[in-house]
Chains A and B, each alone.
Chain A
Amino acid sequence: MAEGIRDKVVILGMGCSRFGERWDCSAEDLIAESFQEAVADAGIDRDLIEAAWFGLSMDEQNLGKSALSLSQALRLPNIAATRVENLCATGSEALRGAVYAVAAGAVDIAMALGVEKLKDTGYGGLPERSRGTFNDLWQPGVTAPGSFAQFASAYAARHDLKMDTLKEAMAHISWKSHENGSRNPKAHLRKRISKDAILNAPMIAYPLGLFDCCGVSDGSACAIVTTPDMAKRLGKTGELVSIKSMQLSLSNGSEMSHNDWDGSYAHTTRIAARKAYREAGITDPVRELDLVEVHDCFSITELVTMEDLGLSQPGAGYRDVLNGKFDADGEVASNIDGGLKCFGHPIGASGLRMAYEAYSQLLGRAGDRQLIRPRRALTHNLGGFPNNNVCSISIFGRLDS
C-alpha cells in the first residue's frame, strides 16, 4: 500500500526571479536568474543535479515542446530533463516530477524549474489560442476572466447574495493582494490601491473589473530537492522544509456537461484538498495551516477557494474575507506575497513561485512580510476554467513539524 510522499523529500534550495514586464529579459535570462539563486541557496555543485523537470505552459513563446531550452540555457551536463505542461498547474507539475523522482529513489537530487515569457505576445492577458479542432466547432471563444467570472454569478445565485455584496468581498481580496504585494520586492505590482479604485475600475468580464484580474507576467522559479538524509550529508544544518503532500485532481467533463455541479465552487479543489490533507495528516486546516498561496487568477477564484479548501464554510467565504480572516494579520494569511494578482502570473513558474513563498516563510526569510513562525503552508493552482480544470495542491512544512 502506497504511503504517499510526506517528509520523504526536502527542499535543498530555491530561487525566484523578479516577476513583471521583463522587457529586458528573454526566457533564457529568466531561467538563469532563478537557477543561480537556487543553486547558491542549495550550496551545492550544480552538477550534482541528476534530473530536471521543466514547467512551460504556453507554446506561444516559441521555446519549443521539449526541455531542450532549459538544458541549453543552463548548459546542463546532458542530464535527463523533461518538459511538463498542465495549464496553470504547470509549475507545480514540474515540482511534482522532481519530488516523485527523489521519493522513488531514482535520483538523489532533482530540480524543477518553471518559466513563462508572455509579454512578447504584444497584448495583455493570455495568448489567443485554438481550442482544438472539435471544440472550436461548438465551444464559445471564452477568455479566462469570462470563464472565471461565472463563479461570481453562480455563487451569488447559490447563496442568494446581492452582487454588490459579493463585489465588496472581491474588492477586499484585491486590496489585500496589493497591500501584501507592496511589501514584496520581487512582485510585479507593488502599488497599494484603495477599495474605491478597485470597485470603480473598468469592467473586463462582468462582474470582474480590472483589479479583480491578475496580470500576465514574465518570470521564473526554481527548486532543488533531495532526501532528508542527503541534505544532512550535504551539510545542511538547521531547519529543513519538507514536502508533506502533493495532489492533483482533474475534471472529467462532469462539471462541463452534467447537472451535478452548480458552478459556485471548484469540484477538483475539494477533491485535491481532501487527499492532500489526508497525505499530510491535517485534520483541521484552519488551525494547522499558517499560510496559503492560492490561485487568485481572479478575486472570485480566491474567495471560492477559501471554501473549497475548508478554510470557510460554503457560503461564508465572503463574510470571512470581509472580516479579514485571510489578511496578513488574519487567522490564515492568504497570498502573503501578493499572489498571482500582484506577485504576478508567469504560468509555468507560478506553482513554483508559491512554493518559493512557502519555503521562504517557513524558514523565516520573507523580509517585511514575514509571518510569525509559520509551521505549515499550502499552495494551490487551478488551471483551465471553473467547469473544466486541473487543480494541484501541495503542502509544505518544517521537517520536524
Chain B
Amino acid sequence: MGNTGIASIAAYLPRLRLARKAIADANRWANPALAAQGKGHRTICAHDEDSLTMAVEAGRRCLGDAPEPALEIIQFASTTPPFADRANSVILTEALALPFDLRCADVTGFLGCGVTALIGALENGRPALTVASERRMARIASAQELALGHAAAAVVTGAENPIARFVATHSTAVDFVGHYRSAKAPTDYLLEERWVRDEGDMKIAPPAIETLLRKAGRDAAAIDHVVIAGVGRAAARQIAGKCGFAENRLIDPLDAACGDTGSAHALIMLCHALEQAAPGETILLANVAQGCQTLLFETTDAIADRPDIDTVRDQLDGGVEDLNYLRFLSFNEQIDVDWGIRAERDNRTALSAFNRHRKTATSFIGGRCEACGTRQFPKGRCCVNPDCRRFDTQIDEPFSHKIGRVKSYTEDWLAVSANPPFIYGNVAFDDGGVIMMEFTDCEPGELSVGTPVRFVFRIKEKDPKRNFHRYFWKAAPVGMAKVR
C-alpha cells in the first residue's frame, strides 16, 4: 500500500452534554423503562451547530495553524448534511479558507459513509481532508434519544510524514436492515436490538475482520488497538471475542460520555486510539453499517510528535452539563416554541450579495491596509483608520485564527434568538480590528469586558420560509468552561 497514511486526525465534540437522566425523567410518564439507561451524558449541538459547523471545527483542528498547502481532495461525510443539493464539502472548503482548485465530494447514504470516504482517500493516496460529522435526531422518548451523540472527526491523509501508515482495507456489503431512515423522514425506524446483534452484527463483522487480517497477513493477537464502531458495547465485546482480540485491546466506544455519533463515530474512536498509541503499534478499525468497512494501520515514529491538544479525552472530560431537555428538543426543532411576532420577519438571504462577499461571510477574511497596517473587518475600499482613509490599499487578512477580547457586550432578551438571551457585543482583535458580533458557547453572566475569545463558524440565521440558513463566525470564550 506504499507510504500512504494518516497525516493528522482530530475530533470535535460540541460543548453541551445533555444528562441522560434529564431525558429519562422528562419521559418517565411515557416510557419508564428509559430510566435504566438514564446514566451519563450525550453530546448535543447547540442551536447554532449542525453537521457542517462541527465539520469545520474538526477540520480546523486537524489542519492546525498551518493548513496543508497541497490538499487536493476535500470530503464531507454525513447522513445529516444540512443541504441535500449544495455541496457541504465546498462550504467546508471555503470556511477553512482553502484554495478553490481542488475536488470536493459529499458522501452520504448510510452510517458507513465516513469510513468509506476515508478508505477512498487512503486508496487514492493524494493529499485529502476527510471529515465525518453527524447530528442525528431521534424520536422523542425513544431509547435512541439517549444513545445518540453529535460530533465530528477530521482526517488528513496522504503520503507525507504519516503518523499511521495505511496497511490494508476490506469491505463487505450486506443489506441487513437493523434500522433505516427514509429520504424524507426526520428520524430512524429501529428494529429489535437482540435480532440486530445476533443476526446482524455478529454475522457481518467477524468474517470481514478475519478477511482483513488474512489480507494483511496479521494475527488477531498482534493487534494493539481495536476500534469496533456501529454496534453496541456488548456486541463489540462479543465480536472481539469471536475474532480473538483481548478485551483490553478494545477502544472505548464512548457511549458513557458522548453517545453514538453515527458516521463520525469510527473516526472519533480512531482518533482516540491514535491519541493513546505509541510508535510501531497496529490499529484495526471495523465499522458495521450494512456490511462492514475495515481498515488496518500501523503507527510510525511521527506519532510521538503529535501535539497533545484538544484530545478526545480532553473533550470527554470537558464540556458543560445541560439538564434542559425541553431546550434540546427546541434546538432540534422537535417542538415549536412561540418566539413572538418579532420572529415573523422575513429573513431572505440575498445570494447575489452573498456571492460577492463569500470571503467575508464564509472564510472570515477582512482587510489589512498596506499603507498604514490597520487590520479591519469587513475589508472595504477605503481604510477605516481615521488618520489614513486611503482607497484601494487593502489586502486579504484572515481573522478566523485570531484572538480577540470583549470590548462591550449585552445579554438581549428582546432580540429574536433560538437560545435566548441573544448575547453579542464589540470584540477587539489583539492585533487590530473591531467587530460587533454574536457570542456563542457561553451562558448569561459569563462574559466581562476583557474576556479573551476565539472564533467559530456557526449558523447565523435561519430562513424557515425558504428552508435556508446562513453561516457566519461567532466569538466563543477561550477555554471551554469545565463545569462538571
* Chain A interface residues toward B at CB < 8 A: 122-123, 125, 128-130, 133-134, 136-143, 145-147, 149-151, 153-154, 156-157, 202-206, 208, 252-254, 256-263, 387
Known: A137-B361, A253-B384, A259-B434. A125 touches B426 (CB 8 A): no
State the Cβ distance, A117 to closest chain B Cβ, in Å: 17
Within the complex, which residue of B344, B433, B472 is in contact with A259, where a contact is CB–CB below 8 Å? B433
Bits for B170-214, please: 1 = Cβ < 8 Å to A, else 0: 000000000000000000000000000000000000000000000
Q: Which secondary structure dominates chain A's binding surface?
A: loop
Within B404-458, which residues are at the interface with A (CB < 8 Å)? 407-416, 421-422, 424-426, 428, 432-438, 444, 448-450
Determine the chain B residues whose CB is within 8 A of the CB of A143 once the complex forms: 412, 414-415
Known: A123-B341, A137-B360. A146 touches B415 (CB 8 A): yes
Known: A140-B438, A153-B449, A259-B432. A206 touches B407 (CB 8 A): no
Q: List 20 A-B contacts (CB under 8 A).
A: A125-B414, A130-B346, A133-B350, A136-B349, A136-B470, A137-B353, A138-B378, A140-B422, A141-B461, A149-B412, A150-B425, A153-B409, A157-B408, A157-B448, A203-B411, A205-B415, A206-B410, A254-B386, A259-B434, A262-B407
| CB pair B413 A205 closer than 8 Å | yes
Within the complex, which residue of B377, B433, B449 is in contact with A157, where a contact is CB–CB below 8 Å? B449
Determine the chain B residues whose CB is within 8 A of the CB of A146 once the complex forms: 410, 412, 414-415, 422, 424
**Within 8 Å of chain A (Cβ to Cβ): is B354?**
yes
Within the complex, which residue of A133, A138, A141, A253 is in contact with B415, where a contact is CB–CB below 8 Å? A141
Complexed CA–CA distance, A146 and B413 (Å)? 8
| Additional 5 contacts, C-beta under 8 A, given A137-B357, A145-B410, A154-B426 | A140-B437, A208-B410, A254-B386, A259-B428, A387-B426
**Within 8 Å of chain A (Cβ to Cβ): is B345?**
yes
Q: Which 5 A-B pairs have the closest CB atoms?
A: A146-B412, A157-B449, A133-B350, A150-B408, A133-B353
| CB pair B415 A263 closer than 8 Å | no
Determine the chain A residues whose CB is within 8 A of the CB of B374 once the complex forms: 258
Complexed CA–CA distance, A218 and B344 (Å)? 23
State the Cβ distance, A372 to closest chain B Cβ, in Å: 40
| CB pair B341 A122 closer than 8 Å | yes
Determine the chain A residues whose CB is within 8 A of the CB of B384 once the complex forms: 252-254, 256-258
| CB pair B408 A206 closer than 8 Å | no
Determine the chain B residues whose CB is within 8 A of the CB of A202 once the complex forms: 413
| CB pair A134 B425 closer than 8 Å | no
Determine the chain B residues whose CB is within 8 A of the CB of A156 once the complex forms: 449
Determine the chain B residues whose CB is within 8 A of the CB of A203 once the complex forms: 411, 413
Determine the chain A residues whose CB is within 8 A of the CB of B352 once the complex forms: 133
| CB pair A205 B412 closer than 8 Å | yes
| CB pair B449 A138 closer than 8 Å | no
Complexed CA–CA distance, A151 and B376 (Å)? 22
**Within 8 Å of chain A (Cβ to Cβ): is B484?**
no
State the Cβ distance, A121 to closest chain B Cβ, in Å: 8
State the Cβ distance, B260 to closest chain A Cβ, in Å: 34
Within the complex, which residue of A129, A145, A254 is in contact with B414, where a contact is CB–CB below 8 Å? A145
State the Cβ distance, B413 to closest chain A Cβ, in Å: 6
Within the complex, which residue of B409, B432, B436, B472 is in contact with A387, where a contact is CB–CB below 8 Å? B436
Complexed CA–CA distance, A268 and B370 (Å)? 28
**Within 8 Å of chain A (Cβ to Cβ): is B124?**
no
**Within 8 Å of chain A (Cβ to Cβ): is B276?**
no
- Chain B interface: which size bin? 35 or more
Which B residue's beta carbon lies closest to that of A203? B413
Complexed CA–CA distance, A260 and B433 (Å)? 10
Complexed CA–CA distance, A211 and B448 (Å)? 23
| CB pair B410 A149 closer than 8 Å | yes
Known: A143-B414, A154-B449. A257 touches B360 (CB 8 A): no
Complexed CA–CA distance, A125 and B414 (Å)? 9
Complexed CA–CA distance, A261 and B433 (Å)? 11
Bits for B372-411, please: 1 = Cβ < 8 Å to A, else 0: 0010111010001110000000000000000000011111
Which A residue's beta carbon lies closest to that of B450? A157
**Within 8 Å of chain A (Cβ to Cβ): is B342?**
yes
| CB pair A142 B386 closer than 8 Å | no
State the Cβ distance, B152 to closest chain A Cβ, in Å: 24
State the Cβ distance, B466 to closest chain A Cβ, in Å: 14
State the Cβ distance, A197 to closest chain B Cβ, in Å: 18
Complexed CA–CA distance, A139 and B474 (Å)? 10
Bits for B20-58, please: 1 = Cβ < 8 Å to A, else 0: 000000000000000000000000000000000000000
State the Cβ distance, A110 to closest chain B Cβ, in Å: 35
Determine the chain B residues whose CB is within 8 A of the CB of A147 once the complex forms: 410, 436
**Within 8 Å of chain A (Cβ to Cβ): is B479?**
no
Complexed CA–CA distance, A29 and B350 (Å)? 38
Complexed CA–CA distance, A203 and B422 (Å)? 13
| CB pair A128 B342 closer than 8 Å | yes
Within the complex, which residue of B411, B413, B422, B470 is in contact with A137, where a contact is CB–CB below 8 Å? B470
Complexed CA–CA distance, A151 and B450 (Å)? 15
Known: A123-B340, A205-B411. A258 touches B350 (CB 8 A): no
Complexed CA–CA distance, A387 and B460 (Å)? 21
Within B68-110, which residues are at the interface with A (CB < 8 Å)? none
Known: A140-B436, A204-B413, A258-B376. A134 touches B341 (CB 8 A): no
Which B residue's beta carbon lies closest to that of A386? B408
Known: A140-B424, A259-B433. A154 touches B407 (CB 8 A): yes
Complexed CA–CA distance, A263 and B361 (Å)? 25
Determine the chain A residues whose CB is within 8 A of the CB of B412 once the complex forms: 142-143, 145-146, 149, 204-206
State the Cβ distance, B462 to closest chain A Cβ, in Å: 11
Q: Among A130, A133, A261, which residue has the most Cβ atoms of chain B within 10 A?
A: A133
Determine the chain B residues whose CB is within 8 A of the CB of A261 once the complex forms: 434
Complexed CA–CA distance, A205 and B472 (Å)? 23
Known: A154-B408, A262-B407, A387-B426. A142 touches B436 (CB 8 A): yes
| CB pair A134 B413 closer than 8 Å | no
| CB pair A205 B376 closer than 8 Å | no
| CB pair B386 A260 closer than 8 Å | yes
Complexed CA–CA distance, A304 and B444 (Å)? 25
| CB pair A257 B433 closer than 8 Å | yes
Known: A205-B410, A206-B410, A263-B407. A153 touches B353 (CB 8 A): no
